[in-house]
Amino acid sequence: MTEFLANLHPVLLGLLKGLAVIVVIFPIAGACSMAERKVSAWIQGRHGPNRAIPFWFAWVPGLGPFLQRRGAFHLLADGLKFLVKEEPLPGHVNKFYYTLAPVIALIPAFTTVTVVPFGAYLDDAGQLVPLMLANVDIGLLAVFAVASLGVYSIILAGWASNSKYPFLGGVRASAQLISYELALTISVLPVFLWINAPDTAGTLSLVRAVACQAQPGFWGGLWFIFLMPVSALIFFVALFAETNRLPFDMAESEADLVGGFHTEYGAFKWSLFFVAEYSHMIVGSGVFILLFLGGWNPLPWLPLATVAAKLGFAGHPLVFGIVSIVIFLVKILLFIFVFMWVRWTVPRFRYDQVMRIGWRLLLPLSLLNLLGYALVIALLQPAR
């Protein structure tokens, strides 16, 4: 399979990779939308979505009612609803930019997926080969650079709507992005100061971050969430703000902005914004897992390669790859559950509180954390 893909024309290979991203991310984003309602219902002691069932499936004894109570068919119902319902186009909007904004929201969300490794396998030489669409050495920088462009879609949607509430939502989104992106970026610098030891090639590769959490020894097998808990906490909090999730959803904030930047949107265009939001959640969760939770390694001090050697599938690349992908996806699903848990548990902050947390708390804390780890790493490194 690897040789077949390598021999394809670059344009055809690029189209296949893009199609793979769309085919995978769209269903996961739709499932996240349904899971959001199920999680909120579970937290609030409600049943949640449990009514939808296709007429051709209702006659299946046992299985049909079981899936209906789980809300499994609401994913199908929501997808069809957004596709076939009437598309509103208000007369007062700037029609070109109003239509363009949801499309721009998807581009950064889908592009960042390509540089995030989602698994690995062992080749014939016993070397770990990452599974990713674009294996670039500046993986984390690419994620930050491209993901930050997503705010332009929110700004454009607010401005093109020609309405004061969407416009205020777009302004809030831009201010929030600037406030938290600084702390987010600085929080990961200690990780790469630790990874890039002297006399080694410098890298921002997420694969290298996973490999450094799967080395022998106590410090080698320790996940960075235990080694650098302050960096993990800052990244975790800033990630909520970067993805516009409660309690940092200032761009929407229906309590004072009706619906925020997407107030004038409906049907399929409205759904594209939330596909982009869930895509950013998936990518952000994946990056956190790769940096601080060992990536596809099951436990601290227990790399997947060690487990494969003990269970006898180290020499089977297909099995190794599937196991690594399953472990990584389970971690992402657990992390997304935390996103939803926080949303339905923590009340929304005021806008002034969001700015205060970003500038007066997270930014100074991230700078102190960077300085502290820079001094510690300098003292621990052997003299050159």
Instruction: Report pLDDT digits (tens) over 372-383.
Output: 999 988 887 654
Residue 67 pLDDT class (50, 70, 90 cuts): confident
In the predicted structure, residue 11 carries a pLDDT above the cut 80? no
**What does 277-331 look like in DSSP terms, one character per residue?**
HHHHHHHHHHHHHHHHS-TT-SBTTB-HHHHHHHHT-TT-HHHHHHHHHHHHHHH
Cβ atoms 308, 122 nearer than 8 A = yes
Q: pLDDT band at residue 187, thresholds of 50, 70 and 90?
A: very high
Q: Region 189-201: what's the mean pLDDT?
A: 83
Q: Who wins on pLDDT, 4 or 280?
A: 280
Distance CA 82, CA 63 (A): 27
Confidence of residue 125 (pLDDT cuts 50, 70, 90): confident
Contact 162, 92 (CB under 8 A): yes
Span 297-331, pLDDT tens digits: 999 999 988 888 888 887 888 888 899 999 999 99
Where is 372: in which H helix or E strand?
Answer: helix 363-380
How wide is the angle at C-alpha 225 spanned by C-alphas 139 and 144, nearest 5°?
25
Highest mean pLDDT among 28-42, 137-151, 265-279, 353-367: 353-367
Q: Is the dihedral of CA 249, 253, 254, 255 positive or negative?
A: positive
Confidence at 384, pLDDT banded by 50, 70, 90: very low
- Structure-token pair, residue 279: 């895509």
Give this prediction's pTM: 0.91
| 250 vs 186 pLDDT, higher one | 186
Question: What is the helix (H) or strand (E) element at residue 377, kind and residue range?
Answer: helix 363-380
Exposure string (b/e) for 345-372, b if CB count within 10 Å is 16 or more? Answer: eeebbebeebbebbeeebbebbeebbee
How confident is the model over 86-110, as pLDDT tens digits? Answer: 888 888 888 899 999 998 988 888 8
Lowest mean pLDDT among 23-32, 204-213, 253-262: 253-262
Q: Are 221 and 214 in contact (CB under 8 A)?
A: yes
First to last CA, the chain: 45
- The partner residues of 299 in beta bridges, in order of sequence, read 302
What is the distance between the alpha carbons of residues 220 and 238, in angstroms, rounded to a whole number? 27
**CA 161 → CA 3, 89, 173, 266, distances in Å?**
49, 10, 15, 12
The distance between the two most distant Cα atoms of the chain, rounded to a whole number of Å, is 74
Please check whether residue 308 is in contact with residue 337, taking contact to mean a CB–CB distance below 8 angstroms: no
Least confident among 197-201, 205-209, 362-366: 197-201
